[in-house]
Amino acid sequence: MNIIRPIRQSDYAALHAIAEESGIGFTSLPVNEGLLRRKIERSEASFIDGVTEPGKESYLFVMENLDSGNVVGTTGIEAAVGLDDAFYHYHVGKVVHASRELNIHNTVDILTFCNDYSGVTEICTLFLREEARGGCNGRFLSKVRFLFMQEHQERFADIVIAEMRGVSDENGRSPFWQWLEEHFFSLDFPTADYLTGIGNKVFIAELMPKYPIYVNLLSPEAQAVIGEVHEKTRPALQLLEQEGFTCRGYVDIFDAGPTVEAQLSNIRTAQASRRLPLEISDDTHENAIDSFIINTSVTDFRAVVNPVFVDEEQQKAYISAAAAAALEVQAGDLIRFAPVRLGDN
């Protein structure tokens, strides 16, 4: 059985291995010991009681296989981005060049440098190791965040975003960044990506073009990848689109990958979730539904995937003894759960 729980200091080696496996373009996990240890420390400090509004909290979870004890994945939430460091994007807009006298009307796409998403909640840092890929593990890592946010809404903003990894090749070359590098930065994509990951963002404000960029002036290769995702990111994007996330024209300033957003109240898994007291039973219930289940704790948060049978008359949720033990809950405690396959509830 796999569980998802808050990261702790003893998970450092596993997190470092995940950072190495994730590769260039996975900005939130640079291969840097000091930064990774600080991320763990910051997360541990965030999983405390008493938080009443979104702030600088950073929640980092890991997926652990209880049989082997191995950490096989990670996923995270930033409660409110852009409070300390500027949070940059390009917004894809349009400008019209028209002359009534000459009967000319041209609409041109432009990229405008902005900080429009400052203060929103960001889901991030989702990576599943090769050994654990399969089944519903990827969806589990993604959707557990929506259950945690729904359960503890006071900790998060109304708007939730996700930055999707843009197009780059196996050597880390981004067609979009290559154009920026040539004209403004003289800094390759892996280096720029790494500097951002370790929190060094001053160079962005210093070197990024201050005025809107006309898209038709970019190289054809750069134009072609604006708003497109890396091939390994397509499944993650599809999952979020199924949850109700959409792109409103914001793209990453390095690789032009899309940023998608949704209101927490409109995210399908959050909407479909229920919060009920539990009963423990290993009896097989014909109407039990495979579900993502979380306890309602913050400091001792746990999540599992297990069938749930709901007694509608008693308003109780039945789960197995093994699931209850993994969740560290007892009969009568509250759990929140949502079906693995939306529409099954």
Domain annotation for the chain: domains and CATH numbers: 2-87+116-268 (3.40.630.30), 273-339 (2.40.40.20)
The pLDDT score that the predictor gives to residue 202 is: 65
| DSSP one-letter code for 120 | -
The residues that are catalytic are: 230
The pLDDT score that the predictor gives to residue 229 is: 94
Whole-number Å distance between alpha carbons of 271 and 69:
32
Report the predicted TM-score, pTM, of the whole model to 2 decimal places: 0.90
Query: Sign of the CA dihedral 115, 116, 120, 122?
Result: negative
| DSSP one-letter code for 84 | S
Q: Which residues of the chain have pLDDT under 70?
A: 23-27, 194, 197-202, 205, 343-345
Give the number of other Cβ atoms within 10 Å of residue 93's Cβ.
Answer: 14
Q: Which amino acid is at 226?
A: I
The pLDDT score that the predictor gives to residue 40 is: 95
Q: What is the largest CA-CA distance in the chain?
A: 80
